[in-house]
Amino acid sequence: MNDGASVRKKRVGVIGSFVWDVIHGRDKRAVPVEEWGGITYALAALDAGLSDDWEIVPLLKVGDDLADRARHFIRGLRHMAPDAALVAVPYPNNRVELRYHDAERRSEFLSGGVPGWTWLGLKPLLESAELDALYVNFLSGWELDLETAQLLRAHFPGPIYCDLHMLVMAVQPDGLRVPRPLPDVAAWCACFDLLQVNEEEMAMMAPDPMMLAATAMAAGVSCLSVTLGSQGSIYVAAPGFHTIHDIAPRRALATGPRGGSSALGALRTARAPAVIANVQGDGDPTGCGDVWGATHFSRLLSGDNLETAMRAAAQAAARNVEHRGATGLASYLRGELHIS
C-alpha cells in the first residue's frame, strides 16, 4: 500500500541574492534597523503561497561572512526542500543601506559583492536540482549576464518567472544605485515566460508601456506584470494565457521564443487595485515588490488563474507592509498568530 510518502513533490528553483539591509527612515523616531533583505522576502512569500505539493530549491550564493545566518533563515521555511543547500563563497556578502524619503521613494547604497553565476557553475546545479519551475529575481543586478540567461532558457524546459528589478540599476563608485537604460531588451525578454517590472524599471526598457508589452510578447513572454505601488498593478497577457498550464513545455534544447499558447487573438490587459494595509501610522514597504511577485508565481504554480494569483499577490504585499522585516514574514503572510 502506498501511504503517499513516496510521492515526488514539484520543485521550484530560486535565483537571487541574499542582502543584509541597514534601513534608515522606516520608523521616524527609531535608530537604523538591521535585518535580512534581498531574496529573503521572496523566499518567505514563496513559502507562504505555495501549495503543499511544491518545495523550494535555492540556487543561491552567499558570502561566507553571513552564510551561517542565511542557512538558519532557510531552515525556518516549511516548503524548503530537504536537500536545500546554499553555496558559500569567499567574498563579503551584499549589504545595502536603505534611506527612505517616503513610503514609495528611497535611495540605496550597495557594498560587498557576491559574484553572479557563470553557466559553467550554474549548469551542474540546475541539472542536479530536477526543477519543475524557476523564479529569478535580480537583486544585485548581476546574478546572471545575458549569455548565461540565454543558456538557462535554452536548457531549462519549465516556466521561468523573472523580476527584473536591479537589472536596470547601475552602481556608482560610492555604492549609490541609479537607474540605467537596459540594452538588448528583446533578448532579455526572450529568456523568461513571466516578467515583472515596476514603473521606474519599465521606463528604463521602453518609451511607453505598450511598446514594452509588444516587445515582450514578440519575444515569447506569456505575461508582463507592472507593479504600481499604491495604484495596484497591471498585466498584459499573451493570447490564450490564463494559467501556468498554458505555457507549453520545451521538450528539447531550444533557443526560439515561445508564447503562452498557440491561440490567436488580441492581447489581454487589466488593472488590479492595491489592497490597503491594516496599519496605524507608517508601515514597512521594504520588499513589497518581491513579496508581490513571489506570491503571484507561487499561486500560479499552485493552480490559480492569472487574475486570482494577482489578487493574492496584492493581499500579500499589503500584509508585508504590516510586518517588520523578512524574519517571521512567511508565518505572518499565512495569517498565523505572530507578533512582529
Band (pLDDT 50/70/90 cuts) for residue 251 is low
Res. 253: pLDDT tops 60: no
Average pLDDT on 314-319 reads 94
Model pLDDT, residue 166: 93
Model pLDDT, residue 340: 46
* Per-residue cell: 256: 526560439
Model pLDDT, residue 130: 96
Model pLDDT, residue 27: 60
Please state the φ and ψ torsions of residue 55, each to the nearest 5 degrees. -140, 160
Which contiguous run of DSSP H or E holds residue 26? none
Tens of pLDDT, residue by residue over 182-233, are 999 999 999 999 999 999 999 999 988 889 999 999 999 999 999 998 899 9
| Ranges assigned E (strand) in 39-105 | 54-58, 61-63, 87-89, 95-100
Res. 52: pLDDT tops 50: yes
- Degrees to nearest 5, angle at CA 213 with 207 and 216: 110
147 touches 187 (CB < 8 A) = no
Model pLDDT, residue 1: 43
What is the SS3 assignment for 322? helix
99 touches 126 (CB < 8 A) = no
15 touches 143 (CB < 8 A) = yes
Q: Would you tell me how many other CB atoms lie within 10 Å of the CB of residue 57?
A: 23
Model pLDDT, residue 285: 82
Q: Share the mean pLDDT of the chain.
A: 89
- Domain at 10-333: CATH architecture: 3-Layer(aba) Sandwich (3.40)
Inter-CA distances, 209 with 135, 222, 265, Å: 23, 16, 20
Average pLDDT on 304-331 reads 94
Q: Measured between alpha carbons, how far is 307 from 84 in angstroms, rounded to an integer?
A: 31
